[in-house]
Each structure stands twice: as structure tokens, then as C-alpha cells.
Amino acid sequence: MTGRFHGKSVVVTGAGSGIGRATARLFAGEGARVIAFDLSEGVEETAAGQERIVAMRGDAGSAGDVQALIAAAVRDLGGVDIIAANAGISGGLAGLFEQTAEDWAKILEVNLIGPFLAIRHGAEAMINAGRPGSIICTASVAGLRAGAGGPAYSASKAGVINLVQTAAQQLTGTGIRVNAVCPGLVETGMTQSLYDAARAKGREEMIGQLNPTQRGGEPRELAEAIAFLASDQASYINGHALVVDGGLSTSHPFAKPRKLGVTTF
């Protein structure tokens, strides 16, 4: 098999559905060997019938699980060339006074510490093997400015954007590039309830109408952006957050929040 990624070893976290599943299958379709990693059993479906994809269950926010993932890539695939750190959770749209510290800790664990662990352990394996590589983290337009997600989710994704910038600098001279994609509204497991509700009301055509392209995105479109950043075509792109949102972030629509019933001191 030939393709842009022939002979490459790839790890994709959050590969149980949506963007992660599309990304794992795109890389495999272009010649890579892939470990699809997710806590959910959906990762088995991602790998089903795909001879170049192996499923692995685990928690992207757990240091031990991520170390085991990278070790499996080194052992079974001969190393790791590309990592798509895609795992994430939304935490819902609860407001600042509705979320708890525990809510924040869980969201940050998966959405921000998870990409850190992927970069930390993945880059170490690349450096030890003396091979260049590419790491792509999934951030969000919610990390660019307010109005596209809940407080904890938005803060976690802003952290991812800064993380890739910082990591790119920290890895100077190693040949390892670190970038991010910032999706807008895309039909994934995270947004499925929104899509289902719109369809149930016969308003599917309204999905994505707040962006200039006037539609929601497809997981494959994000997978293509991730593959581009991983490829030699992006060899001079490093520490960058690529926005893939149909133009939504050119002007985030924003609803004025209701008055809060809190006591001021």
C-alpha cells in the first residue's frame, strides 16, 4: 500500500467515534499503521474490518495509560511517528456558578493534561529513537474566545492552544513539530445530542447557520486537517493552531447571559 503515510506509525486518542475515528481510518487508508485509543468500546468498532488499525482501551488523562499506549506503539509498531491527541469531553454548558471544582478537574484532566501526556511521552519516544515526528492536538474555537462553550471546556481548550506553542519551543532542534486544530461545530459523540434534538424538531437545516459556510462540519474534514499538519506538506508549520470552523470564529455569536442570583461581598 502506498500513500502519504506509508510506513508511518500513528497513535490516535479519542478514536472511539467522531473526529478520532475518522482520523484513525484516514491515516490507515493512506498507508500508516495505527493504534486507535479510547476509553469507550467504540474504539473496537473503529478498528473493525481495518487491517491496519489496532484498538486499545485506556484513559487519555491517565499517565499510566498513556505510557502504556506509547510503549505499545514502540513495541508493536516499531516506534511512533505521529500522534493525534484528540480525546476530549465537553462537560456540558453549565455556567460559572453551576460547575464545581470536581467538574473542572475532570475536564482539565482529559482535555488538557491528556494532550500534555501525549506530547510528554510521545516526544520522549521519538527523541530516544532519534526520529522526527508530528504531534497534533485537538483544541477548539471555544479556546479562542468566549461564546462557543462552557467555562471549563473553553479554558481547557485555550490551554491546549498555549500548550502546543510552548511544546514547540521546548522541542526546538528535535525535529518534532507540535500543532493543534480548532474545530467548530462538528457532528461527533460530544455534539450528538444537539444534532439529534435539531433533527427531532425538523430543524436540521439550521445546524451550523451561525457560521458563514452555513453548515456543520464533518469528522472527515477535521481528519483531513490533522493529516495535513502531520504530513510533509506542513513541514514548516510548528506551534500553530489551525482553525477549521466554517468561519464561525471570525465573529463568535454570543447570547447575553442571564442575571446571576449570587451574593456579592
Angstrom distances, CA of residue 154 to CA of 46, 89, 158, 182, 186: 28, 11, 6, 11, 16
C-alpha 29/C-alpha 85 separation (Å) is 19
- Cell 500513500 sits on residue: 3
- Cell 502506498 sits on residue: 2
Q: Does the annotation mark 195 as catalytic? A: no
CB 110 within 8 A of CB 163: no
Active-site residue among 11, 83, 153, 245?
153
Q: How far is CA 233 from the centre of its chain?
A: 20
3-state SS assignment for residue 73 = helix
| Nearest partner of 222 among 171, 173, 186, judged by Cα | 186
CB 219 within 8 A of CB 186: yes
C-alpha 58/C-alpha 38 separation (Å) is 6
C-alpha 171/C-alpha 168 separation (Å) is 5
C-alpha 108/C-alpha 157 separation (Å) is 9
- Cell 467522531 sits on residue: 18
C-alpha 133/C-alpha 79 separation (Å) is 10
Catalytic residues, by residue number, are: 153
